[in-house]
Structure 1
Amino acid sequence: MPKSRIRKKKSDSYAPPERQATKIDMRAGRRWVAPLMLAMFVIGLAWIVVFYVTQGDLPVEALGNWNIVVGFGFIAVGFVVSTQWK
């Protein structure tokens, strides 16, 4: 049976390059996200509640049942804005 090759050991002087830690500043930027997100949720919910309480007369009578879609639209915008929150 043939003899297997002998592996050469790497020298012990090798050291991996040092990495510098990057600091992420979580306080800066995007302070507008949480208030805007909550505002969209509240506006959408209020729109739907006002529509039901006034039996379709408010907020916009001409839209009819589409007022529900508008309310859910505000809520959907709130969810889209929430993806920007860090």
Structure 2
Amino acid sequence: MPESKSRRRAAKGPAVTRSTKAQKPNAVWFLPVMVTLMLVGLFWIITYYISDGGLPIPGITNWNIGIGFAIALAGFMMTTRWRS
């Protein structure tokens, strides 16, 4: 029975990237805004708990927690776009 020819494997080249453009770093204001949003959200929630529900906006009770989390979440979402 004749032997089959062995196949040559293609040489692996450099990995292909999706974008050939170099990514630019973020604007100067990006990092301070990101950190500020996270801290404001944290302080919003702390203020609500320390004031026993009276502050920062009286009358909306537990929605203050949602507002604080939304502000902090906006800051955390910015971390996914941060480049140094």
Where on the TM-score scale, by shorter chain, does this alignment land: which range? 0.5 to 0.7
1:48 is aligned to 2:45:
yes
**CA root-mean-square deviation:** 2.4
TM-score normalised to structure 2 length: 0.66
Correspondence 1:59 to 2:35: no
Q: Which amino acid aligns with 2:56?
A: P
Residue in structure 2 matched with residue 69 of structure 1 by the alignment: 66
Distance in 2 (CA, whole Å) between partners of 1:85 and 1:23 is 17
Give the count of matched residue pairs: 69
The answer for unaligned runs of 5 or more in structure 1 is 5-21
Instruction: Tell whether the 8 Å contact from 1:40 to 1:78 is kept in structure 2 after alignment.
Output: yes
Specify the SS of the correspondent of 1:49: helix
Larger radius of gyration: 1
Normalised TM-score (structure 1) = 0.65
Kindly state the Cα deviation for residue 30 of structure 1 after the two structures are TM-superposed.
2.0
1:11-38 per-residue CA deviation (whole Å, 9 max, x = no partner) reads xxxxxxxxxxx884755x4222211110
**Structure 2 residue 29 is matched with structure 1 residue 32:** yes
Give the secondary structure class of the aligned counterpart of 2:52.
Answer: coil
- Structure 1 runs, 4 residues or longer, greater than 2 Å off: 22-27
CA–CA distance in structure 2, aligned partners of residues 34 and 84 of structure 1: 10
- Identity in percent: 39
